Amino acid sequence: MSDKFGRNDLCWCGSGRKYKKCHFFIDEQIEIYRLRGYEVPHRKLLKTKQQIEGIRESGKRNIALLNFIENYVVDGVSTEEIDQLIFEKTKELGGIPADLHYEGYPKSSCISINDVVCHGIPSERVFLQDGDIVNIDVSTIYKGFFSDSSRMFCVGSVSAEKQKLVNIAKECVELGIEQVKPWTFLGDIGQAVNDHAKNNGYSVVKEIGGHGIGVQFHEDPWVGYVTKRGTGMLLVPGLVFTVEPMINMGKANIVADTSDNWAIYTVDGKPSAQWEKTVLVTETGHEVLAY
């Protein structure tokens, strides 16, 4: 990578700084790992300072959306009502719901209840009930930049069994994010997530994972959670991606709803829980941009 730019040339990232004072060291390190046979990110995946600031601003609005909607997650409310509130609040914040019309998706959010693993479509016929656990996943476009995060909500009085699942799923995300630091690997995240889930008697969905994000809704890399430490893409400053493992109370097997081609369910009908955060790899560790 580095031989394409002179040390005193302006850096390829558009920062206006000399290459030697900007991406020279990072490019040199990437090349060392590439020559050793590791998977390394393409330069286009590394976000510039300006792009990171744009994603950060988008993330602030995504966080505000989830903070706002918490008071409306109550027994008796329809998921359509929640989705409409999210749509209106997103507009009020100056954003656009990234979910809406993405690959034909019809709503502004994904609302997944109990055994719905992900991509639950809001509906005027689906009402939250006391004892439900609910994942609300929102994604925001703000001035052309994307962010994505989700949280679990407990409706009324949930069982101790469901509460534990929600708590452990959150711990899995936090442990995974602790692994995010430069010159380590995506597989480190998956190992931490999978170990903690299994140690608590749960399983991790294999087929669905996190994704790069920022200038598009879904970018490389794909982030799996049944991986091994020291494998997968090299983590490099400037990478932005989501950490969002789906933790099942029962088996990891999932099935798609053939009636809408979006919602994903556990095969055994047992509950699933998921938290999602957007994370930036920094020069010294990581920064959570949306949660």
Task: Show the tokens assigned to 109.
Answer: 């959010």
Segment 216-229 mean pLDDT: 98
Query: Looking at the predicted structure, is the pLDDT value of residue 258 above 80?
Result: yes
Considering the four listed CATH numbers 3.90.230.10, 1.10.3470.10, 2.40.110.20, 3.40.50.720, the one that applies to the domain covering 46-290 is 3.90.230.10
Tell me the DSSP string of 28-39. Answer: HHHHHHHHTT--
Quote the pLDDT of residue 1: 43
- Per-residue pLDDT at 82: 98
Dist. CA 108–CA 93, nearest whole Å: 14
What type of residue sits at position 6?
G
The structural domains of the chain, with segments of one domain joined by +, span 1-37, 46-290
Question: How confident is the model at residue 33, as a pLDDT?
Answer: 97
In our burial notation (b when 16+ CB lie closer than 10 A, e otherwise), range 230-244 reads eebbbbbbbbbbbbb
Among 7-11, 64-68, 69-73, 150-154, the range scoring the smallest mean pLDDT is 7-11
Residue 204's nearest CA partner among 175, 244, 237 is 244
3-state SS assignment for residue 132: coil
Structure confidence at residue 31 (pLDDT): 96
- At residue 210, the pLDDT reads 98
| pLDDT confidence of residue 7 | 86
- 143, 55 contact by CB (below 8 A): no
Return the higher-pLDDT residue of 130 and 19: 130
pLDDT at 2 over 60: no
Q: Please give the average per-residue pLDDT across 69-80, as a whole number.
A: 98
7-16 pLDDT, tens per residue? 889 998 888 8
DSSP string for residues in 192-227: HHHHHHHHTT-EE-SS--EEE-SSSSSEEEEE-SS-
Q: What is the pLDDT of residues 120-167, one digit of tens each?
A: 999 999 999 999 999 999 999 999 999 999 999 999 999 999 999 999
Angle value at C-alpha 173, between 169 and 177, nearest 5 degrees: 165
